[in-house]
Amino acid sequence: MTGPFEPIHADPAAPVRAGLVNLLGIGAQKCASSWLHAVAASHPEIGVADPKEVDFFSYRFDHGYRWYEEHFRRSADRPVRFENSPSYFHDPRAPGRVHAYNPDMRIVLLLRDPVRRAMSNHVHEIIKGHIPTLPFEDGLANNPAYVEQGRYGTHLVRWHDVFGPDRMLVMFAEDVSADPSAAARRLFEFAAVDADFDSPILRERRNDSDRARLPALRAGLRAGGDWLRRQGMEPLLARVKRTGPIDFLLRANRVEIRDEIPPMRPETAEMLVHTFAPEMAELKRILGRETLPWEGR
């Protein structure tokens, strides 16, 4: 019998086992994926990858299964092993690769208004230092991923064709914002873990549209938080983050990027709505929905 860190296909004559990872977040980028990871990591029955985004089935597939599963060494004994890489959703190779690794994989997908997602994509590129603080329209002209990652119908049909609707949970960031507790319960029920678990993450304020005045300070605080999470000390982390000195440091170190970027032009937003319209129609068809959470707002 193979162990959790032996290569899955080392012996061609041996029975093929399903991969160690059995719950996978696939995106989309800037659609509450950080919330998804944090909530999953807080659950005592769910082990998560370290670091959280491995990008194995998209950018690092040539590293092999053993390399991938080494990212779960600390959590291999948990009944659910979760990895979350937003790069998977729009990569046409990923569904087949995931299915070959584990045909019983449970797939979690979070989506949001694609126009707002595109703007958040732009903010993300600025925060990461990939581009200077430019107007959205300049970033859009330079980066086709702003639109490509919002082609939800095109990407989702590939995953549905491989896994089918029963092995996929599709949620919306708008619903997460409106009722995070209900969203967490849906996730836990889908993962077949204790759905009554009260995650401390649900009481945290999260902001992904700022950057640090002192990046080293933010990196140090995050490293400390990640260490506490790996030790299963989420409740302690939640209390520490609410203490006066830590809360002051976190707030003082933030620079709100959206305040430095001109708002998206109305004609740009209208153009994107038109561009995405066929994709949203296909999304509704796949999900059997009459409307989407952001429509009519």
Taken in order 16, 17, 19, 22, the sign of the CA dihedral is positive
| Domain 23-213+253-287 CATH class label | alpha beta
Most distant CA pair in the chain, distance: 61
SS3 (DSSP) at 210: strand
pLDDT category of residue 127 using cuts at 50, 70 and 90: confident
pLDDT category of residue 13 using cuts at 50, 70 and 90: very low
> How is the chain split into domains, by residue range?
23-213+253-287
Helix axes 266-287, 114-127, angle to 10 degrees: 120
Mean pLDDT for 262-291 is 97
Spatial distance between the Cα atoms of 52 and 85, rounded to a whole number of angstroms: 8
Mean pLDDT for 8-26 is 66
Mean pLDDT for 27-35 is 94
Spatial distance between the Cα atoms of 183 and 186, rounded to a whole number of angstroms: 5
Taken in order 28, 4, 184, 195, the sign of the CA dihedral is positive
Candidates 297, 208, 205, 210; CA nearest to 261 is 210
